[in-house]
Amino acid sequence: MKSIHIIGVPMDLGQGRRGVDMGPSAIRYAGLDQRLQELGYSVTDEGDLTIKTQEEQRIKDERAKYLPEISRVMKLLAKKVERSMNKQKFPLVLGGDHSIAIGTIGGVAAHAHKQKKKVGVLWIDAHGDFNTPETSPSGNIHGMPLAVCCGLGPKELLGVGGSFRKVEPQNVAIIGLRSIDRKESDSLSKNGLNLFTMGEIDKHGIHRVMKKAFQKISDVDYLHVSFDLDSVDPVYAPGVGTPVKGGLDYREAHLIMEMIADSGKMTSLELVEVNPILDNRNQSAEFAVELVQSAFGKSIL
């Protein structure tokens, strides 16, 4: 029986809209533990990391807002994820905004690095999250985590999990892109990440796109899946920090997770950007729990 280790990270410092810090509670309230146990998994919930609120601190650098506290929490998260994997447990991290991926991937990479193994990332998101303080229009760190994991960004974040590049850009596939800053787009192309836009999904279908993504990142030992709920169209998931029309529909999102389950390659998972304040009767958190079930093997038959 696979043992799942849940870690909550109620982080809202990485983005401008309040409320996403309540995401872990909303996902738990939607019955996450019970749904996973029904699938035959052993579940341990460690609770939430403690994070200073925006009111408790000042912004020292407008290009990387709340950097000291985000850096502190990410180092703590990385240690918890690494420890979980060292014990052969599956880390399931609940956000919070997408800046938490710096800590999650930092921990996965720290575990893999000691074994000289390679990490791959499936990044399911409307956004590239590949800005740096120099290119970001807002200074919000939730737009920077993938760049940090690929070795670009503030030194305080690059050191999370160890002083090495956490994932090689060619071992990253972003699924569902539809909102990218201009300078960010240039950087994504220059660094050679595998990019799959909503336009490609419309043209070729999600099944073919996912098969291609798996082919591109097949040469890895650990596969981290980072699912930003804003990849889904706001019709199905209205409660997210940065909703963008034209996203994944209900079946496309589930098929992504079902194909991940069928691959048998996923070794860690995080769900981010659920914002109950913007939601409709916890609809988005309930959808998130359904997606987790699909990723862990729930099928119709």
Class at the top of the CATH hierarchy for domain 3-295: alpha beta
Q: Is 12 a catalytic residue?
A: no
Q: Is the pTM of this model over 0.85?
A: yes
CA-atom Rg of the chain in angstroms:
17
**Which residues are registered as beta bridge partners of 175?**
124, 196
Contacts of 125 (CB under 8 A, 6+ apart): 98, 174, 175, 176, 177, 226, 227, 228, 230, 231
Indicate if 279 belongs to the active site.
Answer: no
Residue 191 burial (CB < 10 Å; 0-12/13-18/19+)? middle
Tokens of 101: 């991926």
Cα distances from 31 to residues 28, 230, 285, 300, in angstroms, run: 5, 21, 9, 19
- Per-residue pLDDT tens digits for 143-157: 999 999 999 999 999
Q: Is 249 a catalytic residue?
A: no
286 catalytically annotated: no
Which of 129, 184, 233, 252 is labelled catalytic? 129
Residue ranges of domains in the chain: 3-295
Q: Can 273 be counted among the known catalytic residues?
A: yes
pLDDT in tens, 78-104: 999 999 999 999 999 999 999 999 999
DSSP string, 188-233: HHHHT-EEEEHHHHHHH-HHHHHHHHHHHT-S-SEEEEEEEGGGB-
pLDDT one digit per residue (tens) for the chain, 301 residues: 589 999 999 999 999 789 999 999 999 999 999 999 999 999 999 999 999 999 999 999 999 999 999 999 999 999 999 999 999 999 999 999 999 999 999 999 999 999 999 999 999 999 999 999 999 999 999 999 999 999 999 999 999 999 999 999 999 999 999 999 899 999 999 999 999 999 999 999 999 999 999 999 999 999 999 999 999 999 999 999 888 899 999 999 999 999 999 999 999 999 999 999 999 999 999 999 999 999 999 986 5
Q: Which of 140, 131, 135 is nearest to 18 (CA)?
A: 140
- Look at the block and give the residue holding tokens 């399931």: 92
User: Is position 262 annotated as part of the catalytic site?
Assistant: no
